[in-house]
Structure 1
């Protein structure tokens, strides 16, 4: 039987490139113009101002494109009576609230809440006073007989202009000393919290899955059946990605006001891409699963049969070249991973801070490189512990040597991309301790430093010991424990990153 392996590889490469282009196209469809961060800029009436009424319209201007939400504008007067606009319209960066009946004499406080492109809600309030010109009295002249005293008759009329102190009647407007308290607007915290929970599930799952695949491709050595363990781990992580994306979509549905709106929003399309990508991770990598099991039964494809034959010819407990080489049967899983990875360019602060395209590319680089490091450490810990439990050769020296190079490059890329992204989001470094986003970033950086120190300890202290005594049980245990600790710290870093996406910079 002819066993041509080159053709599937070439066709797979072409399909992967096409899939990446399609993934980018699907996610970019719709509004993707670079946008500024959505913050409140000004209002008409301005905060603390006094305007002539009755007041029909209140205008709010923003620095970035806002999205008006239902019941997102409420006005309260000095007595606590609330007024809801009969119509809210949006024109680019401006939102106009129309009131019918119009707002009359008195002091008012308006509370507002809008949603920005990155799904973050912005809220605030401002106060103003409305003065309605009072009815005035004019002196109507009367005709009198010659020599008789003139008489006057008060005839009330209304005037469209504000009266002054020289008029016969002075308009008196009572203004409270302090503006009324801001009314409560619609609460979107529940929907936002559901979306955050979804991110907490899929973000660590996606990051670790990226690294496990990278480790299998570049640093794995030893028993080929352990590849099956890693791929089963990737599939379970795919379940986490899909479940997290589904939970996020449910939260976005409430936040956006309906499932039909979700595909029209960049964050919604990103979540849908993760849902599809997670499902593809679950069902992909057919040839790896077949080869790892080493079964002699029917295979699903020619590439799977070739992989099985190759697995049989390998020495299971040595450090021979048994690392993973993607084949045509793995295309589904690879495309799923690409969908998940590209989705990070269309989520969180990448939609509202800095140059849109550049920030999106940096986000992909940051997640991919951080994933290679974090997920690779997890994969190394899993393989070392499994081989310890099975009492077989660990091949720790070879794997740690290979992975150290990959990890150092990944750490450098992740750090560089992360610094640029942080400056895009908030260039005022001194303000970091005063914002939720800044404080979480500081915690994340501390954890990254701890993980890097653990990696350095492995490289400069544990690895030389393994090289001189590769079968020393004490040194192997030390390597296993430090790698496991580093993996736990990096998973916590991934969780912190998920929280960081939704944190406020205000």
Structure 2
């Protein structure tokens, strides 16, 4: 590898490791909505199946991914879990004739964008559901491998920029034979690096999903996409030898196919076809843009720019502007899908990372505009003056550096729970219910399990402390059973002379089945003959 080729590759990968030091590990994206039986339920009759429902379609790992154990650790399920309701519900069959006792349900699934999620719960048949340790699934997600998966993905992203982005830019800019040899050599290095990152992804994903039989994992949709990518990458050296006309067509198809395998294993592969298409457009655009910047900044502008190259730069400006326009439009569409709620932009890891990416894009666009103005001025003057090429080279390299960070952040975004799924606001409301001031706390305000706390304080010192409280949740148009919150814990506050004593009531987890507008109805019991009722509204996401 020549010094110049090494510089092209090293410059694109330098940003990767700094990003890896501060980006949060990936989290599971499939969120538990409900279980049937409910966690902690005491049943008078043994069910025939257990159902675990998520907010998005999931996949069961090759080893099954779900089981039910009795208090002695013996399997109580039939060993053949299945998916129903559009793959959002795991159904675990139970053996007939099971005796009364405590049963532990554990599961491990893979969400649509390849991130594993695991959990467990207990229920009692004829006895209270307490007293045994929670068991983990055989192939539960193994912590510690999230960063490895994220590192592999970022290496793949940056490697693809080198493998697929340098060649079209060189053809647009009219690289001479020596420059083409250097860039083609760098492209081969990028293909090899991408292959190495893909193998790291396979190992990390397998271990992250629980380290089950690798032979079974090798046949999953995730692994199949990686095998296809490796096969396509092996064709890169042969494609680079083709004449320019064939190279444009064959290389373009090869690049789109390779990038499609990356999209398949990320957020873009988890939704509808148009989400896949917009995400693919996004990665194609950023690959073309950043690859062109690398070729321009580290090879084609090393010397004072010639008149011929100066005349070709407007062609590059149009090429880059088209790539940035596609990048911006597709990125904004993805942001609307993955963020959805404005509050999630600055309160989730995904939102904050996306904000940083958008700021970098704005900086890169500003540098691109400055470079375009430079080209127009130098062309009008009939050529570049001494020292002017170095100025353009500095702008291009800075823009490429920002682009490398953008690509690395894009890789990290595909390994972070989307802001829409991670957004978990809380309710902290204060209402007046006749002689009481009531503070209501609900967390999180999302479909699924919620915790509730009600703190009741008399408006005057003589107001009797609340003895009990009831909370019923209702939703207009909701036909299912109305969730009622039980408050088993009553916690009197500190006694202060001359001030009413607050009383806090802590409730158990209640599953809220749907999003939208909800109303809470509070009934406060002050004595056997005095009750007070108040309502409050809140939104579930």
Matched ranges for 1:140-179 at <5 A: none
Once residues 380 and 397 of structure 1 are traced to their aligned partners in structure 2, the CA distance between those partners, rounded to angstroms, is 12
Deviation at 1:395, TM superposition (A): 5.2
Secondary structure of 1:473's counterpart equals coil
The answer on 1:349 being equivalent to 2:302 is no
Partner of 1:274: 229
Deviation at 1:110, TM superposition (A): 4.8
The answer on 1:113 being equivalent to 2:105 is no
Matched ranges for 1:93-132 at <5 A: 93=87, 94-97=89-92, 102=98, 104-105=100-101, 110-126=105-121, 128=123, 130=124, 132=126
> Relative to total residues, which structure has the larger strand share, 1 or 2?
2
Which of 245, 249, 270 is the equivalent residue of 1:327?
Answer: 245
Deviation at 1:416, TM superposition (A): 1.1
1:425-451: CA deviation from partner (whole Å, max 9, x where unpaired): 342232133333222222211111111
8 Å contact kept, 1:277–1:335: no
Deviation at 1:459, TM superposition (A): 2.0
Once residues 447 and 329 of structure 1 are traced to their aligned partners in structure 2, the CA distance between those partners, rounded to angstroms, is 32
Partner of 2:315: 402
8 Å contact kept, 2:107–2:120: yes
Distance change (3 Å), C-alpha of 1:483 and 1:85: farther
Matched ranges for 1:213-292 at <5 A: 213-218=167-172, 220-221=173-174, 223-254=176-207, 255=209, 257-262=212-217, 264-287=219-242
Which of 256, 272, 279 is the equivalent residue of 1:363?
Answer: 279
Which of 142, 161, 165 is the equivalent residue of 1:211?
Answer: 165
Partner of 1:146: none
> Relative to total residues, which structure has the larger helix share, 1 or 2?
1
Once residues 175 and 280 of structure 1 are traced to their aligned partners in structure 2, the CA distance between those partners, rounded to angstroms, is 58
Matched ranges for 1:440-479 at <5 A: 440-461=353-374, 463-465=376-378, 467-468=380-381, 470-479=383-392
Distance change (3 Å), C-alpha of 1:222 and 1:339: closer
Secondary structure of 2:345's counterpart equals helix
Partner of 1:17: none
Runs of 4+ in 1 over 6 A off after TM superposition: 74-77, 80-83, 173-176, 329-332
Distance change (3 Å), C-alpha of 1:438 and 1:183: farther
TM-score of the pair, normalised by structure 1: 0.65
Secondary structure of 1:427's counterpart equals coil
Q: Please give the root-mean-square deviation of Cα atoms over the aligned residues, in Å.
A: 3.4
Deviation at 1:243, TM superposition (A): 1.9
The answer on 1:376 being equivalent to 2:292 is yes
Deviation at 1:214, TM superposition (A): 2.4
Distance change (3 Å), C-alpha of 1:357 and 1:81: same
Secondary structure of 1:189's counterpart equals coil
Distance change (3 Å), C-alpha of 1:369 and 1:98: same
Deviation at 1:351, TM superposition (A): 2.7
Deviation at 1:486, TM superposition (A): 0.7
Secondary structure of 2:51's counterpart equals strand
Once residues 285 and 66 of structure 1 are traced to their aligned partners in structure 2, the CA distance between those partners, rounded to angstroms, is 40
Larger radius of gyration: 1
TM-score of the pair, normalised by structure 2: 0.61
1:231-288: CA deviation from partner (whole Å, max 9, x where unpaired): 222222111222222222333444484454456433323212221222211332114x
Partner of 1:427: 340
8 Å contact kept, 1:270–1:347: yes
Secondary structure of 2:113's counterpart equals coil
8 Å contact kept, 2:175–2:300: no
8 Å contact kept, 1:280–1:332: no
Deviation at 1:478, TM superposition (A): 0.9
Deviation at 1:45, TM superposition (A): 0.9
Distance change (3 Å), C-alpha of 1:329 and 1:453: closer
Deviation at 1:472, TM superposition (A): 2.2
Once residues 361 and 66 of structure 2 are traced to their aligned partners in structure 1, the CA distance between those partners, rounded to angstroms, is 42
The answer on 1:67 being equivalent to 2:20 is no
8 Å contact kept, 1:277–1:338: no
Q: 1 or 2 for the larger relative contact order (CA 8 Å, sep ≥6)?
A: 1
8 Å contact kept, 1:350–1:360: yes
Which of 16, 33, 39 is the equivalent residue of 1:41?
Answer: 33
